[in-house]
Each structure stands twice: as C-alpha cells, then as structure tokens.
Amino acid sequence: MMSEADRQKAASDLLAAEEARKPMVQLHKTWSDITLEDAYAIQDILIRRKVAKGAKIIGYKIGLTSKAMQASSQIDEPDYGHLLDSMMIPDGAKIRHDDFCVPRVEIELVFVLNKELKGPGVGLMEVMRATEYVVPAMEIVDARVQNPRKIFDTVADNGAAAGLVIGGRPLKPFDVDLRWVGGALYRNADIEETGLALGVMGHPAMGIAWLANRFGHHGISLPPGQIMLAGSFIRPIWAHKGDTVHADFGPLGGLAVQFV
C-alpha cells in the first residue's frame, strides 16, 4: 500500500507526463507495493485536480471488457476511468497529433442514461431500461505510462482516456439486438480491425452493469444524463500523424477524424 504522499506524487507525475506528451516509467516499477486501491485513489486525485481547473465529469469509460482488449493489453480484468467534457471531439474534426503521447483508436458503443443506476444487483435489463439511447463512438486512448503496463498503471492513468468522438445514428436500446452491432475501423483506405459488440462481456450493456455494481458497493450511483462508454470490441489501432481514421457501423452510420 502506498502512502498518501506517494499517491499525490504519482498523480503529479501522470499529469506532468500528459503535459509533456511523454510516457513516464511504470508506476509499478517506481512503487512496487502499489495496489489496485492505490491506483483508483491516484485516478481520483488526478480527476479532482482537473475538475478544480474547470473540467466537468460527464460520464465513465469501462475498459478491458473484451478478450480482444485484454489480449492487446495483457490485462485480464475490466477497469474504469472518468470521461471529462474536455475529451469530447466533434465527428469529422482535425486533431493535433502532437497533443497526445502515443494515440490509438478503438470503436465501441456509448450508452446515455435517462434513469439512475445503483448497484449491487444491476443486470442487463436494468441497464437497458435506464438507457435513453445508444450511439456509435470512437475512443482515443493515450497511455501516459510506458509499456508493458500492469492494471495498476492503466487504472491510475484514468484508463488511458484521452478523447471521445460520437457520431452515426442514435437508437433506442431495444430497437436492435445490440450484441450483433458490428463495426469496422479504417486507417486511411485500409480496414485495420472489425468486430461485434457481443465481444464486450457477451453484451455491451454488461460493462455498464459491472460498473454500477462496483460503485454500488461504495454507495455510489450512476446518475441520469451520464455518458457510459461500454468498452471496445476490437483491438486498438495506432494513429499516426496524417492518418484519417474512419469507423463504419453499417446501418448505424459512421464517424471519422484526421490526425494532423
């Protein structure tokens, strides 16, 4: 277990790495006694500091919910991070590549809640009934910690959350079988990854259920209006300067950004 002073130092180091656009040495190498509790405490410190500077929490991302993502990261359990208003990127935007350390892109579904979710005991149907609509998304992840990372590094780094692009066609949660929503991710003219949303714990809503139940054990609920990023069902692709990255969700539409 880390001391409070070490947790504060780790949060400061992560913020400095983000500002310098240069990944730092893994936290588990600097603090060999780091625990998952420490990692989430560091994440909370980091987010509180950003909020104190004017950022607003708009929701949460659930990460590492699919076998593809767990294999890619060599981490075998889900995690979560906070979404901030400063992370929102318009569909079709040109993004400065130099604003990131090592950006990668994933595709997933966003659930927007219109009812409170409070665990424990939240399951698939509770999430579906509490969802106003579901919409395609691309997440930009940007590790501020060097590879290879352990779960402690990823969690402390706010799940590597860096940007969120929402686009395509919103739909009600019961309008289609969300398990079979598919997506293809292009880099320029090439298809790099494809997948189905059922790769996320068998159903993309199960990631939100996992988070609601985890929070519920601490007396915390997910309030209406929150944006919930359910987790990627493909492996992330690297985004290089000059790349146009396009996500095609078939009948649900598409979205794209360019790194300049």
Q: Which domains, and CATH codes, for the chain?
A: 56-259 (3.90.850.10)
* pLDDT above 70 as % of the chain: 96
N residues, the chain: 260
Q: What is the spatial distance between Cα 97 and Cα 106, in angstroms, rounded to a whole number? A: 16
Which residues on neighbouring strands pair with residue 139, listed in sequence order?
106, 164
pLDDT at 70 over 90: no
Of 47, 165, 42, residue with least CA distance to 95: 165
The pLDDT of residue 218? 86
Whole-number pLDDT of residue 73: 61
Residue 102 has pLDDT above 90, yes or no: yes
Return the number of other C-beta atoms located less than 10 Å from residue 137's C-beta: 25
CA distances in angstroms from 233 to 17, 19, 115, 171, 203, listed in the order given = 28, 29, 25, 19, 10
pLDDT, tens digit (0-9, with 9 covering 90-100), for 175-201: 999 999 999 999 999 999 999 999 999
Reply yes or no on whether the pLDDT at 252 is more than 90.
Answer: yes
pLDDT band at 164 (very low <50, low <70, confident <90, very high): very high
pLDDT band at 72 (very low <50, low <70, confident <90, very high): low
HSE-CB of 62 using CA atoms within 13 angstroms: 30
Q: DSSP readout, the chain?
A: ---HHHHHHHHHHHHHHHHHT-PBPPHHHH-TT--HHHHHHHHHHHHHHHHHTT--EEEEEEES-BHHHHHHHT--S-EEEEEEGGGEE-TT-EE-GGGSSS-EEEEEEEEEESS-B--SS--HHHHHHTEEEEEEEEEEE--SBPSSP-HHHHHHTGGGEEEEEE-S--B-TTSS-GGG-EEEEEETTEEEEEEEGGGBTTSTHHHHHHHHHHHHTTT--B-TT-EEE---SS--EE--TT-EEEEE-GGG-EEEEEE-
C-alpha dist (Å) from residue 252 to 71, 135, 168, 231: 27, 8, 6, 17
Predicted confidence (pLDDT) at residue 133 exceeds the cutoff of 80: yes
* CA–CA gap between residue 108 and residue 233 (Å, rounded): 6
pLDDT at 69: 66
Buried b (16+ CB within 10 A) or exposed e, 206-230: bbbbbbbbbbbeeeeebeeebbbbb
Examine the pLDDT at 150 and tell me if it is beyond 70: yes
- What number is the average pLDDT over the span 36-50? 97
* Residue found by looking up tokens 């180091």 in the block: 13
pLDDT in tens, 73-99: 666 678 899 999 999 999 999 999 999
Window from 14-18, 213-217, 240-244 with minimum mean pLDDT = 213-217
Q: What pTM did the predictor assign?
A: 0.94
Question: 52-67: per-residue pLDDT in tens?
Answer: 999 999 999 998 777 7
